[in-house]
Homo-oligomer: A and B are copies of this chain.
Amino acid sequence: MTTGAKLAGQTLAEQKLYDDFAAEHMVPLWTQIGNLMPASPAPTAAPHVWRWSVLYPLAERAGELIPVGRGGERRAISLANPGFKGLPYATPTLWAAIQYLGPREEAPEHRHSQNAFRFVIEGEGVWTVVDGDPVAMRRGDFLLTPGWAYHGHQNATDHPMAWLDGLDIPFVHLTDSAFFELGPDTLANRDTPRRSRSERLWAHPGLRPVSSTGTQYPKSPLAAYRWEHTDAALRAQLELEDEGHPGVAEPGHAAIRFTNPATGGDVMPTIRAEFHRLCPGTVTQVRREVGSSVFQVFQGSGVAVVNGTEHQLEPGDLVVIPSWSTFEFGAAGSGVDLFRFSDTPIFERLCQDRVQIGA
């Protein structure tokens, strides 16, 4: 008789044993193994789509009602995965939020061990000040705030601005590795340059400052990845495809990864970020990966099929793909541009990564 079968009808002795386990803070494996050690990942997180047409008005209302300042720190509203019963996590490892800053508002400086980025779906006029370096935020840009860098934001214009924040807050929380420190209440630097100092030093293709070579860069020293470069790189891949040369990720599908120019690796140790462009009519191969992702539609429209369920996507919409869920994307007649971030570096660095391509 196997352990599993035995559990159906417990004897009194067994009942007593289980009670004694509980009293001593012990739990038997044999009653839990199916749940703890499933045949393949069985995420609590659910695939889900959040609509920009819903999020943005909510953020606007928050802008009217909720001040930004010391204590609350940021007017950021996070995606709370429906599978998590109210926890403010997009996935078990990733946080995704819409942050909203009204005209002339400032978010005060702080730093934390969590790694953070911003992706700008629309608008401009905010500068995020990272370790004293003001970084302009404009449509299509991908901006970094690596762990333990001081940062605050200022809106230097008379119109509000909203953007996507991505962090590893859930992962850091679950693993008890969070540190946080307040900085000055007012911004260190209110300059509004077009390019940050980090870009002036690092955003030259294939070049690095000789002065940088003595130090290590586990996190990217480049604070901003500008839309014009991302767009140019994607266009070039598709042109190369038209000319019969390699470069695209798959037919009709251009894709770049944002990287740390000091290493060629991911921008931050826990977060991967990519940009994908699908030509009109293109459908990607079905994939499943260990680890979770969030996609945001940047422009165009299309469809996501996650675990067999189809979701229509419009600009700004966000889709969460839990671990080991099947997913594919399709582009409508105008094509679609997708920003993606994921926790893949965690699994690659810990040798737990797996990818399955094709049905």
Contact = CB atoms under 8 A, between A and B. Distances in A.
A239 to B, nearest CB: 7
Contact of A58 (B7, B26, B81, B147): B26
A92 B206 contact: no
Contacts of A180: 37-40
A295 to B, nearest CB: 14
Contacts of A55: 24, 26
B351 A93 contact: no
Contacts of A245: 197
Nearest to A74: B29
Contacts of A220: 206
Nearest to A33: B73
Interface residues of A, number: 145
Contacts of A229: 204-207
A4 B352 CA distance: 40
12 contacts: A3-B73, A29-B77, A30-B73, A33-B74, A36-B88, A39-B179, A39-B181, A175-B343, A175-B346, A205-B225, A211-B247, A269-B352
Interface of A: 1-7, 11, 13-14, 17, 20-22, 24-33, 36-45, 48, 50, 54-55, 58, 61-62, 65-82, 86-88, 92-93, 97, 112-114, 147, 169, 171-181, 197, 199-211, 213, 217-220, 222, 225, 229-230, 232-233, 236-237, 239-240, 245-249, 255-264, 267, 269-270, 274, 276, 290-292, 322-324, 343, 345-347, 349-352, 354
